């Protein structure tokens, strides 16, 4: 183990404990960087039972899905603002804000549905 950060609470991060099935959107987690083999691991700690677990597919859930949703939202907002005349009109900016809000809701739904945790 190269370095491990202390456990910190992060808001809007879904966690369901595989031991006691307690669920929260304010997960307590820490990141561990290892040198041999090079790896980044995130451990989640349950606030109810105190046991530690890990995310089942961390690359997919923490990197691939958020980047795909953000890319789609960027393309939609870019097209809206590129076609609006002028781009800074109230309607164009309102639609862009709505798209960004929907992006946040979609990411929360994906994390709620797709995140599964393993016992360590």
Q: What is the pLDDT of residue 101?
A: 92
Final residue in a domain of this structure, among 15, 38, 55: 55
Residues 21 and 64 in one domain: no
Beta strands in the chain (DSSP E): 3-4, 8-16, 23-34, 39-45, 52-55, 117-119
- Give me the residue label for tokens 């005349």: 85
Residue 119 lies in a domain: no
Based on the domain organization, do 47 and 18 belong to the same domain? yes
Cis peptide before 119 (omega within 30 of 0): no
Per-residue pLDDT of the chain (120 residues; tens, 9 = 90+): 567 788 999 888 889 999 999 999 888 998 888 887 888 788 999 999 999 999 888 778 878 888 999 999 999 888 888 888 887 888 888 988 999 999 989 888 888 888 888 887
Judge if 26 and 47 occupy the same domain: yes
CB neighbour list of residue 79: distance below 8 Å, 6 or more residues apart: none
Does residue 40 sit in helix, strand or coil?
strand
Domain that holds residue 32: 3-55
pTM of this structure = 0.71
**What is the reported pLDDT for 1?**
52
- Token output for 9: 């609470």
The count of domains in the chain is 2
């Amino acid at each position: 183990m190269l370095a491990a950060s202390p456990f910190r609470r992060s808001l809007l991060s879904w966690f369901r404990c595989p031991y006691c099935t307690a669920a929260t959107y304010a997960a307590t987690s820490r990141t561990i960087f290892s040198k041999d083999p090079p790896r980044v691991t995130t451990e989640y700690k349950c606030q109810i039972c105190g046991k530690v677990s890990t995310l089942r597919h961390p690359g997919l859930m923490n990197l691939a899905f958020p980047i795909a949703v953000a890319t789609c939202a960027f393309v939609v907002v870019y097209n809206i603002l590129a076609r609006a005349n002028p781009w800074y009109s109230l309607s164009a900016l309102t639609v862009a804000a709505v798209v960004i809000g929907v992006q946040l809701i979609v990411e929360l739904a994906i994390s709620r549905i797709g995140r599964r945790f393993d016992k360590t």
